[in-house]
Amino acid sequence: MSDALETVQADLVYAVDTGEKLVNQTMPAGDMSRVVTGTYEMHPRDIRNGRLTRDEFSLDRNGFVFVDHPTAVTDFFDKEQLTSVYYPEACKLVAEMSGASRVEVFDHTIRSSDDDTRKEKLVREPVHSAHNDYTENSGPRRVREIFPDEADDLLSRRFAIIQVWRAIRKPIERDPLTICDARTFRAEDLITAERRYPHRVGETYRLAFSPGQEWYYFPQMTRDEALVFKVYDSDTSLDGRFTPHTSFADPTSPANAPPRESIEIRTFAFFDA
């Protein structure tokens, strides 16, 4: 596994705040058509090799941590293995990394950069624009949607939405994920966008460009490593509440690199206080 390059430079896709409503309409898995409104622009960014400083990252400060995390899953396309093996593994990891007293998986997404795999397995494509999956409003709303009977009690204490991202077969050599240090973007860089699913309407943040943003990636991630990151935290005293992220075209990717295949698990992390 190569740690040689300290940075790579790549173009990242940012939203432009023109006042126009941003809408991203997502079709069912396997259907690659989508409707996106708004204005977007590309900016070249230096993306740092996070492996070189992996021990310095903190979930509450930077918004993410990178960990070794062997999995017992043999086939991530097997839904039974996902729910019986991987969901418990992910919950345990999130609890250990965050200190949460209760962790619940509420969603997962498998992605592939290969057209045939997406159609065969009914999975989604990598997302090539900087975004954060939840907003100040949609984070608590998702708790109410998933746990309507418990929501008032759960929302009376701190909670976070924490994701676990990993490769599912071969190491990631194409379309890797890069993540923004939560301390380095401005509040005004977050632009609210409507996310339309086949069965519901959600809300995400798109990211506008600002020069102070610092980006990291973890080259050649294997299926026994995980990137754990926050996309919402109700504790407003923390730096690490939202962590914008995006896939990017890595200029160092080999021409014959295999398609990226990854999974992201979304969890609620509930705290005692």
State residue 28's pLDDT score.
61
The token pair at 166 is 């990993």
3-state SS assignment for residue 14? strand
Residues in the chain: 273
**Distance between CA 124 and CA 199 in Å, rounded?**
16
Q: How does 114-145 read in b/e, with b if 16+ C-beta sit within 10 Å?
A: beebbeebebbbbbebbbbbbbbebbbebbee
Kindly give, in sequence order, each residue whose CB lies less than 8 Å from that of residue 83, ignoring residues fewer than 6 positions away: none
3-state SS assignment for residue 265? strand
State residue 195's pLDDT score.
86
Q: What is the DSSP string of 201-228?
A: EEEEEEEB--TT--EEE-TT--TTEEEE
Q: Do the Cβ atoms of 162 and 242 come closer than 8 Å?
A: no
The token pair at 22 is 């941003």
Kindly give, in sequence order, each residue whose CB lies less than 8 Å from that of residue 58, ignoring residues fewer than 6 positions away: 65, 240
Instruction: Centre a 10 Å sphere on the Cβ of residue 272 and count the other Cβ atoms it contains.
Output: 9
Residue 159's nearest CA partner among 60, 243, 271, 241 is 271
Under CATH, which number does the domain 7-270 receive? 2.60.120
Q: Do the Cβ atoms of 178 and 248 come closer than 8 Å?
A: yes
**Distance between CA 160 and CA 271 in Å, rounded?**
8
Phi, psi torsion values for 192, nearest 5 degrees: -70, 135
The token pair at 199 is 């069965």
pLDDT values of the chain reduced to their tens digit, one per residue, 273 residues: 445 689 999 999 999 999 988 988 776 655 555 678 899 999 999 999 999 999 999 999 999 999 999 999 999 999 999 999 999 999 999 999 999 999 999 999 999 887 788 887 777 788 999 999 999 999 999 999 999 999 999 999 999 999 999 999 999 999 999 999 999 999 999 999 998 877 788 899 999 999 999 999 999 999 999 999 999 999 999 999 999 999 999 999 999 999 999 999 999 999 997
The token pair at 129 is 């624009």
CA distances from 210 to 89, 93, 263 (A): 37, 33, 29
**Distance between CA 175 and CA 251 in Å, rounded?**
10
Q: Do the Cβ atoms of 235 and 44 come closer than 8 Å?
A: no
**Distance between CA 78 and CA 263 in Å, rounded?**
12
Domain boundaries, the chain: 7-270
